[in-house]
Amino acid sequence: MRLQIGIVGRRNTGKSSLLNMLSRQSISIVSPEAGTTTDPVSRSMELLPLGPVLFYDTAGLDDSGTLGEKRVATTKAIIDRLDLGILVSVADQWDALEIELLDDFHSRGIPLVVVFNKCDQVCPDESLTMSLLEKGVKVVETSCISRSGIEELRDAMVQALESSPDQPGSITSGLVAAGDLAVLVTPIDLEAPKGRLILPQVQTIRDLLDHGAYCMVVKEHQLATALDNLREPPVLVITDSQAFRQVAETVPPEIAMTSFSILYSRFKGDFETSDRR
């Protein structure tokens, strides 16, 4: 469930420096030499308030030569998987390449933030900024020398993602509403990490809490007792797939039931198409 964020643009616009500043780590090699980043550099991290993200620092899209063309092709392949793009440019270099990228992201429905870097040297003129804003593009001015504009960039990233119509909704959307109770059946076996629940279980708990619902977590042999002790039945029982048959025999037919696997198939993929197949 990590958001995939790609930093793209020409060579030597400061893409790698920007990633290092966002992450507060030296992830990418930085050099005044154009074309320092030859292969995409990926980095998983927690970026508040977005949560878990995967950043891609990509090669310059104006690279040339046989190897350069391959690097550009690799960068364009990465764009296919992005949830958010950060187009890094220098104001006096904005040209057809950037406009083409802008149109490419728009046609794919990928939200984009335009960053004019090196604003300690040159800033975009007002007409360029206004033309981008009129298209609904978030614009940020940064300088990796003075370390300015990073907080504004974080804010713009959050706003761009929030305004995107293609962002996934709730894992339990349409099944559990605010104030409802869901019961989660979580078998503990040798495959479960010691001292922890597996990730889909934790994410589902957080999803329910984030949307105003509440939940009860039980092991499979505790389910019957838990249901008997409730004053009101839950609106949904969610179980691990390995206990599906046992749980189905316990849950009354009037209570909706599903599994973590089915929930995530619906959340992450085209569930209706999968169901038809």
Taken in order 53, 56, 57, 61, is the CA torsion positive or negative? negative
pLDDT, one tens digit for every residue, the chain (277 residues): 678 999 999 988 888 888 888 877 655 444 455 444 456 688 888 877 777 889 998 888 877 667 777 878 888 888 888 999 999 999 999 999 999 999 999 988 899 999 999 998 999 999 999 999 998 899 999 998 888 998 999 999 988 887 765 555 678 988 999 999 999 999 887 666 778 888 889 999 999 998 899 999 999 999 999 999 999 999 999 999 989 999 999 999 999 999 999 998 888 766 565 555 5
List, edge to edge, every strand of the sheet that includes 138-141. 41-47, 51-57, 3-9, 84-89, 112-116, 138-141
What is the model's pLDDT at position 232?
Answer: 94
What is the model's pLDDT at position 218?
Answer: 96
User: What type of residue sits at position 191?
Assistant: E
| Rounded distance between C-alpha atoms, residue 59 and residue 68, angstroms | 9
Give the closest residue to 174 by CA, choosing from 251, 255, 247, 263.
263
**CB-CB neighbours of 226 under 10 Å:** 17
Helix (H, G, I), strand (E, B) or coil at 128: helix
| Rounded distance between C-alpha atoms, residue 267 and residue 9, angstroms | 32
Q: In the chain, what's the furthest Cα-to-Cα distance?
A: 71
What tokens appear for 175 in the block?
A: 């099944």
| Rounded distance between C-alpha atoms, residue 88 and residue 11, angstroms | 10
Task: Please give the C-alpha separations between residue 63 and each of 36, 44, 116, 146, in angstroms, as whole numbers.
Answer: 11, 26, 20, 28
What tokens appear for 192 in the block?
A: 């479960």
Burial of 272 (C-beta count, 10 Å sphere; 0-12/13-18/19+): exposed
Domains and CATH numbers, the chain: 3-162 (3.40.50.300), 181-276 (3.40.50.11420)
| Rounded distance between C-alpha atoms, residue 116 and residue 26, angstroms | 21
